[in-house]
Amino acid sequence: MVILAPVGWLYGRATDLRNALYDRGVFRSYDLGARTISVGNLTTGGTGKTPLVAHIADILAANGDNVCILTRGYGRRDENERVLVADGTRVLVDAETGGDEPVELARKLVGKAIIVADADRVVAAKWAKAKFDVTTFILDDGFQHRRAKRDLDIVCVDATKPFRNAKILPEGNLRESLNGLKRADNVVVTGIDQAEDIRALQKEIREINPAANIFSARTQIVRASRLEDFLGRSVGSPDDIPRSAFAFCGIGNPESFFASLVGAQIVPVGRRSLRDHYPYNQTDVENIEGEAEAAGAESLITTGKDAVKLKNLTFRIPCFVVETEILIDEADEFRRLILPSY
């Protein structure tokens, strides 16, 4: 919209200036005391970042690394409070306290990663390093968090809606100008299974950053279970889900979730999307159930990110949870990138 263009221009100029000051050393970046991998976005909305963070943590943990994920934890009760979401052996808090994405990650990575939610990731890293003897940090949503030095900068770009209109917030979905992509060591193009052709996007990325490694990734549904079983950490199979399901979610890219269901031969009879990080209450559940019944659904189906916020709510209709994992086409090359050289 024209009315938003001046605001976007000012925001873009401010972010460009901030980046320039970091590039020139006027603003300082701090070493976290251990190898650091940043995973982030150039845009708002879901880009497959959370599954990629989990995948990287899996690779490192299998290699014997003591992994700590540092995250801000958007949408939690007090974003200024430091919260130990997982201590490497168990999940310690609920989504209201730790944030939906950190708790979702903690459930995926039980026994594999320490997870700390803190707006100040530099201070949080110092605390975690002393407490847990961390060998590798993963900065979740860390691309714009330049106070923290990193050894690898990985940016996720969604193939289905990469840069929309190439406009800065609030006119578009860019957090900073496309020139910011020049800082990335590596770009992971996600959602390639839902895009017709990614060659033009790869070419655009290469023109902006000729030196970056470009990887291609897709997601697949790997687990499904009833909500009560998911919260208890038992899992089933996508085949357990009734075909007449009503899908709902409150994530950054709901269309990607709905498309992943269709890709798994689960075609919802209806669907409802809410804003990202949506805080569900009992009235929301009743409204969703009403829509589902009107659509002729026999069950509900949602994401792991949503499910961690449904723990204390009551359902009349069976609710199923699907979990996804990311598959990188250049798997061996990506693994070599992630593992330390020592």
Q: pLDDT band at residue 173, thresholds of 50, 70 and 90?
A: confident
For 194-240, how does the pLDDT look when each residue is reduced to its tens digit (9 = 90+)? 988 899 999 999 999 999 999 999 998 888 889 998 888 666 666 67
SS3 content of the chain, % helix, strand, coil (to 5): 35, 25, 40
pLDDT at 16: 85
Domain positions in the chain: 2-218+327-338, 222-324
The percent of residues in the chain predicted with pLDDT above 90, rounded, is 71
Q: pLDDT band at residue 8, thresholds of 50, 70 and 90?
A: low
Is a pLDDT exceeding 60 seen at residue 287?
yes
Q: pLDDT band at residue 5, thresholds of 50, 70 and 90?
A: low
DSSP states of 50-81: HHHHHHHHHHHHHTT--EEEEE--TTSS-TTS
Is a pLDDT exceeding 70 seen at residue 260?
yes
Question: Identical fold at 2-218+327-338 and 222-324?
Answer: yes
Range list of β-strands (E), the chain: 35-41, 67-71, 83-87, 113-117, 136-140, 152-158, 186-190, 213-226, 245-249, 270-273, 299-303, 319-328
Given the candidates 3.40.50, 2.60.40, 1.10.3470, 3.30.300, the CATH classification of the domain at 222-324 is 3.40.50
The overall average pLDDT reported for the chain is 91
Is a pLDDT exceeding 80 seen at residue 277?
yes
Contact 104, 306 (CB under 8 A): no
pLDDT at 237: 65
pLDDT at 235: 62
pLDDT at 298: 93
Given the candidates 3.40.50.300, 1.10.3720.10, 3.40.50.1400, 3.30.70.20, the CATH classification of the domain at 2-218+327-338 is 3.40.50.300
Predicted model pTM = 0.93
Q: pLDDT band at residue 161, thresholds of 50, 70 and 90?
A: confident
Q: Work out the average pLDDT over 68-78.
A: 93
Q: Please state, in angstroms and rounded to a whole number, the distance separating the CA atoms of residues 40 and 145.
A: 9
Q: Work out the average pLDDT over 87-102.
A: 96
